[in-house]
Structure 1
Amino acid sequence: MVKKVMVKARAVMLSAMLFTAMIPATAFASSTSEGADISMSAKQSSSDSASASDSAPGNQSNKADTVKASISKDKAEELARKSVNIPKDYALQGANLSTDRLVDGTRNVWSLDFVKRANGKYVGSIYTSINADSGQLIGFSSYNNNANVKPSYPLKVEREEAQQIAASFIKEIAGDYAAQVELNENYGAQLLPALTGEVRHQFRFDRIVNSIPFLDNYIYVSVDSEGHVVEYQFTWDDTISFPKITDYMSMEQAAAKLKAAGAPQLSYIVLNNGESKGKPILTYELAPYAINAVTGEKLSDNNYRYYRVQGEVSESPVTDKPLAAKPQSGSIKEQEALDKVKAAFKLPEGAELDNSSYNEYTDGDSGVSSESWNFSWTIKKDGKEAGSIRATVDGKTGVVYNYNIYWHNQDSAGTDELVTLEKATSTAVDTVKKQLPWLTHELHVIKPDPKQYEDIRSLSRSSYYIGFAHKVHGANVDYDSVIVEIDVRTGEVNGFEAYIQPYAYPTEAPTTISTDDALTKWMDYYRPELTYRVVNEYSWNGQPIPLEKYNVLLASGELDSNSDVDRESKIELVYRLAAKPVDERVFLDATNGQWRSYESGEVTQLERPKITDAEGHWAQHQLELMVAYKALDVVDGKVRPNEAIKRGELIKMLVIAKSGGNYAYATADSGATKNASFNDVAAGSEYFAYVESALQQNLIDLGDGSFNPEGTVTREEMAELIVRALGYNSLAQYEDIFVDNFKDSSQIKNKGQATIVVGLDIMSLNKDGKFMPNKQVQRAEAATAFFRYLQARAELQEAPLRM
């Protein structure tokens, strides 16, 4: 039973009526039938498992009793209601009993979904999971469709206090484990300060073994800004036996080894926002990796581009030069498109066209329009349907970029001779030469791992999958892919998929910083951390199989968790790279070595700039908040609080505050990056996105087409902007309903706006009672006004009227 936990005189309220979703439980509610749905996810005998579909709903509870779990469904429900204080009006809608596979054993888990309905409408749900062997609470999350819940701003509970609440909650819920965990100082920390009251403080308490964190086991707690625990997850495996390793590298030695093992790769990325939207950018990328903490050996990360396409990327492209020019755009008619498919691939006998359609589409990122013809055939044999074909043809160039045959009930079993992997690879290369001749100098075959296709006959597999990596001047283009599927029986092409984005690349390789310089930059981004990791080794029918093959077989459905696969786990001590906390997603520009924002494309830095001229200032907190969101720039460590704010800066501050910190392009339409609305705010301006967004939201007017971003702003102008952002500008026009006592009222053109901002305590009068409408706004004054705007906006949220 969880009692109230008092921290700084504030109780941790677990009432479901106050819960707000971290993971909406409606997903469980909509997919779970009434009563208990019993499913076993680990290998068990048939006598150990039961399915709810085997009996009527009224008998499902009895079915659950046949599963070998120490705790019944009714007992699990009782424990859940006590642990999480689930109100009685929340009814149990779904129950699932499953088995988690641990390193040395299994664990039964009851997953329970409680739902509240009022007047036939869904109100909220609480999802919990209980260890069906020990009764330990494993996790919970909740969703409450209560419009009356209104978070306040600034936060009632900041991170420091929320951490104490989380730690106290763990002691109540998992007291036996509280002494075995340690707060992960980096998880969820140093994020941007909140611009809204809807905040979740996230904490992870890592399991400590032999004074070393085991980062795969932890207790996660999320606390909202009102001080309520809104999510909990207990991720733990008590069956692991950890080796006592004392002779391992120091942190300094590991850092040197990790750097020596690093190999940044040139890659192209495309942003969805910012000035660089839809344009390939050359970057250096370095995915995190690990080394053995004793030997320093770099360990495999087992990451693959596509679960059916594994192997080594060939150093040389398919050809040294393109085999043909890129197809010119035109207008492909239906019959022409059909002829293209027939010329490209050998349609099997009995293929009958049964559908043809035409489609046009404009890509939101690149702005490029595309046209396509889509066809489908039915394959008939002896009067019966034997398979089907799908194909897509570019409506402008006639290129067939998608072709797939689906055969019914055909596999390699019983076939005397199968096509070799070498022959299949050769056929795939020939197919690429024929279908994509203008790209062959940039396509590199991914040499398949022969182990992937061992015992292909016994696996009843029907195809080889040969992939090709796209590289431009040696740089990876990971958003493009080419895959060719070859029938293992006939050697025919059963599938061809070419996803090549229509982006333009430089004709010559760009000049870049050196790999060593890029590696140094990335080592500033990462930090080494020491931890244990679990390595699983698999054997099938007595023969060892690599993890890659096991994952492929699972992903393809040729194996499942009930298959006769043995697993042996070993525990390794490793040093691995972990990203340092940063305020935004960044990438490393390969041409100049600068960190840039994924959101905007703008140059940024890993650490927030330190302000030297705001210490002790009356607006220090507000200035630091706006600097964190880059609404105010910092030059040589100075934010210049008493300097007049520019019009461009004020609009940037307004848009950021109004959007809750989201980047401006989230509200600007896709065409905004193409044409500037104002003649003095071009697409390359640092204010462009914010000015365009403000115009689209009717926060500013187009006027004569000039914005004057470097000009100053008066207090009256700022008052109007804030009132527009609040949505009260039309109301402010009715000046007769507002009473002002301003000493300089006669100087104010828009008295309604001034009265609103003063009445809401967003802006203040001077000591003489004057509003001073024509006074220039200082940077500190603007930062304070928009902080108060955030407070007022939260307070003005109105709950629905109850009749």
Structure 2
Amino acid sequence: MKRKNMLILALMLIFTLTIPAQGSAASMDEELQSAIKIAKSKFAIPGDYKFTSSISTLGTKKVYYLNWSSPDTTSSTHINVSVDEKGMILNYNKYTPYDYKQIKKLPTLSRQEAKAKADAYIQQIAPGLLKELEYIESNYSSIQETSYYLRYYRVANGIPFYNDGVYISVNRDTGDLQDYSRNWTDGLEFPSATKPITKKEAEAAYVKGLGLRLIYRSTETDGTLKAFPVYVPIYDNSNYAIDAITGEVRRLSNNYYGGFAEDQGLNMREKAAVTMAAGEVQLSPQELEAVAEAGKLISKEEAEKVARAAKFLDISDEFTVDYFYLGNNWPDKNDYSWQLEFKKPADEETGYVAYISATINAKTSEIIGFYRSEQNNEVLKPKNDIEAAKAQVDAFLKEYYPEYFKKLEYNELSSENRVYDNDKRFYFSYSRLVDEVPFPDNGVSITYDNLTGRITSFNLNWYSSISFPTVENAIGLEAAADSLFKNAGLRLEYKLESVENEQRAYADDQAEKAKAVLVYSLDGNKPLYIDANSGVLIDYDGVEYKEPEKVDYTDIKGHFAEKQIMVLADNGIYLEGKEFKPNASITQLDFMVLLSKTLNYYGSDITPKSTQKEVDDLYAFLLREGIVRDGEKQPTQTVTREEAVKYIIRALKYDKVADISSIFNIQFKDKAEISPELTGYVAIASGLGIVKGDGINFMPARMITRGETAVMIYNYLQS
């Protein structure tokens, strides 16, 4: 959600227009007035809210952004509506401050009830639109969310067009509309879908025209890098598909939001922030001293000498080191690098400040990255075509990185769409080869300035502490394709055809040229990786992919806790497996798995296949939250009823009061059997209706069952 809102804001900032001082201002006033009337006819907007607006362009059409805010400045509610020049409502958002740390409760509405409300909202906002939409079923739910998020895709001639659709969020308790977003390509004509080729014919055409290839991928687990061989589509699934009428390869639209993919425009401080966020570790002074004492890394001064001595960097004496740091090369934690930024004093006439940043491997003294700023010069014209530019790049690699160049493969497909500003810049990408098998996670990326004929950015990524398993037993391309079609599969859908000379434009810039084509495309909702040895579909980290399924236990029908177990599961609180085993005692780990899903824990889901680190991360969170205290971590031990109450009361943050046991009175007949230090916990839980015992006794020392745990957590979320 945050990313989406930031994207909308960015587009507003980028494309906002200055209203002309000529006669068109009057027509804009009329359009603005019309947009306001449309918004207020569809949404409840209090009369005392403050109003602001702005005009922007979204591709080729004008959009009016309307904003209302409540007069309460301490807890202000904001309502934002965007309406295009044709009166189509594109977005609606209502934001009210919310305390995300407060205890989550079970929702008042079910997902089915929220879906009915979402349908009604769509009909209210855009009458008749529902007929052109198909709801995307979702099994995802989390107690952490305050709303249900529902998505619909566009349908034409009974065929999906996933590019367009509607997104809605509905408050899980009130049923109020929180967000509405419509992505819609105007004036699009959809070709007939009456005579497509068969799926078998499409599969054969895919193998012949697009095909698969064998590569290595890598993942990092518990600090260790691991490579694994996979079969993947040669061509990007979002850019290429099979024409459903002719069986030929179709090039698809590559339009997407602007901005460069590589971070070449960042200065060193900005890049430091980015790499830190991505996991790169910056060392403290104490850690730097410890590493230096080991005698394995070059000093900052030595790194500076390396950079200044590099002919291709051309760092003159006018440049001084403005910024530096030593960091770990994530995810290869055995490597370290120096980041240095050299800056030149501002030019007296233009004020231009030139800078060069360099990244030096602190073990090998190799320059593994650099970026040089270039002053804009409108007089210069492009020097070379892309072939001549690539020849210069290859010559650079052969001269300065010959051993690496021998083990590189040019990524023609990755580079073909990276021509910027009408041939002013080219981007080139190379993958590392391991015994002739590409390893795209490693390699070289280069940006070439075609106005100056110089390389302006270079990045070498090459893991030193990774081994590659053999591919001698790989299943082969034919078997891999069969597995891909079986487990991911081709689907019939409409997509946008590629626009000639497409240049990183926002999609609506080409709206008038957009053309829908009927294609067979791989299911983009699934990972498209086939394990080279087993032939199974795997995810990004090499783990076998499992289709998300609605939790449906086979052993709870008729059990006293059946309702509570399923309500919790519907809200993302469940234990893995087909059986819940409601009458079995529950281990501390399983109890904490259920309890953590009611809290703000964003770590990995704990399953029987979880690593020890993932379990340790969960307990670290529980310790920080005060739910488990020092000495209480016993994952495999079963939990008593009074211990279960203790953990839940701590989750409620009532433990400080509960620790004053002398002030409480307990009605259970067996209260003498309750541990003295837990008397207050049981009393509070009883008073809140979290526990009832058998109506007479609490049975504190008896092991709690998994079914009783579900009831207790259900009651806790209702308290």
Amino acid at match of 2:65: S
Q: Which residue of 2 aligns with 1:376?
A: 342
Three-state SS of the structure 2 residue aligned to 1:98 is strand
Q: Which residue of 1 aligns with 2:65?
A: 111
Is 1:782 matched with 2:709? Answer: yes
Q: Which residue of 1 aligns with 2:78?
A: 125
Amino acid at match of 1:571: A
Inter-CA distance 238–429: structure 2 relative to 1 (3 Å threshold):
closer
Q: Which residue of 1 aligns with 2:626?
A: 698
- State whether residues 399 and 435 of structure 1, in contact with CA within 8 Å, keep that contact through their aligned partners in structure 2: no
Deviations 1:286-306 (A, max 9, x none): 564532111223333566999
Inter-CA distance 404–647: structure 2 relative to 1 (3 Å threshold):
closer
- State whether residues 163 and 203 of structure 1, in contact with CA within 8 Å, keep that contact through their aligned partners in structure 2: no
Q: Which residue of 1 aligns with 2:111?
A: 159
Is 1:720 matched with 2:686? Answer: no
Is 1:183 matched with 2:127? Answer: no
Structure 1 residue 170: deviation in Å? 2.4
Q: Which residue of 2 aligns with 1:74?
A: 33
Normalising by structure 2, report the TM-score: 0.78
Amino acid at match of 1:619: A
- State whether residues 22 and 231 of structure 1, in contact with CA within 8 Å, keep that contact through their aligned partners in structure 2: no
Amino acid at match of 1:72: E
In the TM superposition, 1:671-682 aligns within 5 A as: none
Give the unaligned 5+ runs of structure 2: 263-293
Q: Which residue of 2 aligns with 1:504?
A: 466
Q: Which residue of 2 aligns with 1:11?
A: none
Inter-CA distance 663–780: structure 2 relative to 1 (3 Å threshold):
same
Q: Distance in 1 between matches of 2:162 and 2:418?
A: 34
Structure 1 residue 744: deviation in Å? 0.8
Q: Distance in 2 between matches of 1:409 and 1:194?
A: 50
Three-state SS of the structure 2 residue aligned to 1:270 is strand
Is 1:656 matched with 2:591? Answer: no
Three-state SS of the structure 2 residue aligned to 1:408 is coil
Three-state SS of the structure 1 residue aligned to 2:70 is strand
Structure 1 residue 173: deviation in Å? 2.3
Equivalent of residue 560 in structure 2, options 614, 618, 621: 618
Amino acid at match of 1:618: F
Inter-CA distance 126–284: structure 2 relative to 1 (3 Å threshold):
farther
In the TM superposition, 1:91-106 aligns within 5 A as: 91-98=50-57, 100-101=59-60
Structure 1 residue 151: deviation in Å? 9.7
Structure 1 residue 165: deviation in Å? 1.5
Q: Distance in 1 between matches of 2:345 and 2:386?
A: 27
Three-state SS of the structure 2 residue aligned to 1:497 is strand
- Count of paired positions: 673
- State whether residues 604 and 614 of structure 2, in contact with CA within 8 Å, keep that contact through their aligned partners in structure 1: no
- State whether residues 409 and 430 of structure 2, in contact with CA within 8 Å, keep that contact through their aligned partners in structure 1: yes
Structure 1 residue 231: deviation in Å? 1.8
Three-state SS of the structure 1 residue aligned to 2:668 is coil
Q: Distance in 2 between matches of 1:685 and 1:494?
A: 41
Equivalent of residue 123 in structure 2, options 160, 164, 171: 171
Q: Which residue of 2 aligns with 1:444?
A: 409
Q: Distance in 1 between matches of 2:414 and 2:483?
A: 33
Q: Which residue of 2 aligns with 1:236?
A: 184
Structure 1 residue 198: deviation in Å? 1.3
In the TM superposition, 1:576-615 aligns within 5 A as: 576-579=521-524, 590=532, 592=534, 605-608=546-549, 611-615=553-557
Q: Which residue of 1 aligns with 2:250?
A: 299
Equivalent of residue 457 in structure 2, options 492, 495, 501: 495
Deviations 1:16-60 (A, max 9, x none): xxxxx8888799889989xxx9945xxxxxxxxxx24x77xxxx9
- State whether residues 354 and 378 of structure 1, in contact with CA within 8 Å, keep that contact through their aligned partners in structure 2: yes
Inter-CA distance 487–241: structure 2 relative to 1 (3 Å threshold):
closer
Inter-CA distance 198–31: structure 2 relative to 1 (3 Å threshold):
same
Q: Distance in 2 between matches of 1:778 and 1:143?
A: 41
Is 1:759 matched with 2:684? Answer: no
Inter-CA distance 252–741: structure 2 relative to 1 (3 Å threshold):
farther
Structure 1 residue 149: deviation in Å? 13
Is 1:266 matched with 2:186? Answer: no
Structure 1 residue 348: deviation in Å? 5.0
Amino acid at match of 2:704: V
Same amino acid, percent of matched pairs = 20
- State whether residues 682 and 688 of structure 1, in contact with CA within 8 Å, keep that contact through their aligned partners in structure 2: no
**CA RMSD of superposed structures (Å):** 4.6
Q: Distance in 2 between matches of 1:575 and 1:654?
A: 44
Inter-CA distance 465–203: structure 2 relative to 1 (3 Å threshold):
closer
Structure 1 residue 264: deviation in Å? 5.9
- State whether residues 484 and 493 of structure 1, in contact with CA within 8 Å, keep that contact through their aligned partners in structure 2: yes
Is 1:746 matched with 2:677? Answer: no
Equivalent of residue 142 in structure 1, options 94, 99, 102: 94
Q: Which residue of 1 aligns with 2:311?
A: 345
Is 1:570 matched with 2:535? Answer: no
Q: Distance in 2 between matches of 1:685 and 1:336?
A: 38
Is 1:221 matched with 2:168? Answer: yes
Q: Distance in 2 between matches of 1:32 and 1:630?
A: 39
Amino acid at match of 2:409: H
Q: Distance in 2 between matches of 1:217 and 1:682?
A: 37
- State whether residues 83 and 137 of structure 1, in contact with CA within 8 Å, keep that contact through their aligned partners in structure 2: no
Deviations 1:684-736 (A, max 9, x none): 48844434443443332443xx9553332211222212222222222211112
Q: Distance in 1 between matches of 2:305 and 2:184?
A: 59
Equivalent of residue 26 in structure 2, options 57, 65, 87: 65
Is 1:408 matched with 2:362? Answer: no
Q: Distance in 2 between matches of 1:124 and 1:24?
A: 19
Q: Which residue of 2 aligns with 1:354?
A: 320
- State whether residues 154 and 791 of structure 1, in contact with CA within 8 Å, keep that contact through their aligned partners in structure 2: yes
Amino acid at match of 1:293: A
Three-state SS of the structure 1 residue aligned to 2:319 is strand
- State whether residues 22 and 143 of structure 1, in contact with CA within 8 Å, keep that contact through their aligned partners in structure 2: no
In the TM superposition, 1:547-558 aligns within 5 A as: 547=502, 550-551=503-504
Structure 1 residue 115: deviation in Å? 2.4
Inter-CA distance 384–509: structure 2 relative to 1 (3 Å threshold):
same
- State whether residues 329 and 337 of structure 2, in contact with CA within 8 Å, keep that contact through their aligned partners in structure 1: no
Three-state SS of the structure 2 residue aligned to 1:222 is strand
Amino acid at match of 1:192: Y
Inter-CA distance 161–96: structure 2 relative to 1 (3 Å threshold):
same
Give the unaligned 5+ runs of structure 1: 1-20, 41-50, 102-106, 310-327, 539-545, 666-680, 793-803
- State whether residues 527 and 579 of structure 1, in contact with CA within 8 Å, keep that contact through their aligned partners in structure 2: no
In the TM superposition, 1:6-17 aligns within 5 A as: none
Structure 1 residue 771: deviation in Å? 0.8
Amino acid at match of 1:199: S
- State whether residues 431 and 441 of structure 2, in contact with CA within 8 Å, keep that contact through their aligned partners in structure 1: no
Inter-CA distance 534–355: structure 2 relative to 1 (3 Å threshold):
same
Deviations 1:91-121 (A, max 9, x none): 22222143643xxxxx4432212223425x5
Amino acid at match of 1:212: I
Is 1:399 matched with 2:366? Answer: yes
Amino acid at match of 1:663: S
- State whether residues 415 and 428 of structure 2, in contact with CA within 8 Å, keep that contact through their aligned partners in structure 1: no
Q: Which residue of 2 aligns with 1:331?
A: 297
Q: Which residue of 1 aligns with 2:493?
A: 531
Q: Distance in 1 between matches of 2:619 and 2:4?
A: 35
Three-state SS of the structure 1 residue aligned to 2:124 is helix
Q: Distance in 1 between matches of 2:142 and 2:78?
A: 27
Inter-CA distance 515–759: structure 2 relative to 1 (3 Å threshold):
farther
Deviations 1:773-796 (A, max 9, x none): 11112222223322333333xxxx
Q: Distance in 1 between matches of 2:418 and 2:707?
A: 66
Structure 1 residue 128: deviation in Å? 0.8
Three-state SS of the structure 2 residue aligned to 1:72 is helix
Q: Distance in 2 between matches of 1:385 and 1:198?
A: 51
